[in-house]
Amino acid sequence: MALVTFISDFGNSDYYVPAVKAKMLSINPQLTIVDISHEIALYDIAHAAFLLRSIYNDFPKGTVHLVALNTTSSITDGYIGIKLNEHIFIGPNNGVLSMLADHDPGIIVKFSDIHIKNSSFPAKDILAPIAAKVASGAAIHDFGGPLQAIKKMMGRHFKASKKQIVGYVLRVDIYGNLITNIPKEVFEKLNPGKFEIVFGRESLQQLQTNYDEVEPGDCWAFFNSLNLLEIGINHGHGAELLGLRYDSPIFINFEV
């Protein structure tokens, strides 16, 4: 199956999204195109990377992921294709693709000038044709040559010791829940028994297993389906009520 996912900062009120899809379908009408999101805020590379990193492995191996974030400002750094965990990503070399893993991808291709035309709509005129052709069986090497390293954007990393884990909010979702970068595996490895999760002015001494395990208005914390610590308020917008946002620090203190 020829499968392309599509994520962008185009929104859904203009012609940009259907124009890109139409371009891909004109090359291969049998393509299946799955929208990830087109509501990424302008220049919010961290949000796009979080979404992609969270879900790309749920798609079949060999899926092509078209990433159209700030594409019109990428002429100087170019456009690239990478292969990561048997998935192909096509997008601008603006840092977003560097945040998909904690290591460099094994294969990086910078698309050559012959495939880069002067365009005010590079997502349609440059990236869409390459994505459609790669999904249809072409190799990313057909469109350029090897690149030693991609432009990097550095996200926050958690810090862990026997006494404490310090993490940060990666994403505030539509419900106001706070998704952190603290992984379940690290917590379970370090946790000696008693602990305290400190976030803003609040703290918790136990974990829940779902959102409704506490009374409405009370705080909860548990490891979500991504195996990341998530914090919020039952029937409340946690970020607003707790005064927390993207990149706010979260602490787990251990009693040792």
| Exposure string over 157-175, b if 16+ CB within 10 A, otherwise e | ebebeeebbbbbbbbbeee
Q: What is the predicted pLDDT for the residue at 139?
A: 95
Smallest CA-to-CA distance from 143 within 102, 176, 111, 105 is with: 111
pLDDT tens readout for residues 131-181: 999 999 999 999 999 988 888 887 788 999 999 999 999 999 999 999 999
The band of 103, judged by pLDDT with boundaries at 50, 70 and 90, is confident
Query: Is the pLDDT at 76 greater than 70, yes or no?
Result: no
Q: What is the predicted pLDDT for the residue at 239?
A: 96
Q: Rounded to two decimals, what is the model's pTM?
A: 0.88
Q: Which CATH architecture has domain 159-254?
A: Beta Barrel (2.40)
| Span 215-230, average pLDDT | 96
- Name the burial class of residue 178, with classes exposed (0-12), middle (13-18) and buried (19+) by CB atoms within 10 angstroms of its CB: buried
Quick one: which H or E segment has residue 91? strand 87-92
Query: Is the pLDDT at 1 greater than 90, yes or no?
Result: no
The residue ranges of every structural domain in the chain are 3-146, 159-254
Phi, psi of 108 (to 5 degrees): -130, 130
Place of tokens 């400190």: 198
- The answer to whether 247 and 199 are in contact (CB under 8 A) is no
pLDDT tens readout for residues 172-207: 999 999 999 999 999 999 977 899 999 999 999 999
Query: Is the pLDDT at 216 greater than 60, yes or no?
Result: yes
Q: What is the predicted pLDDT for the residue at 114?
A: 62
At the topology level of CATH, where does 3-146 sit? Rossmann fold (3.40.50)
Percent of the chain with pLDDT over 70: 96
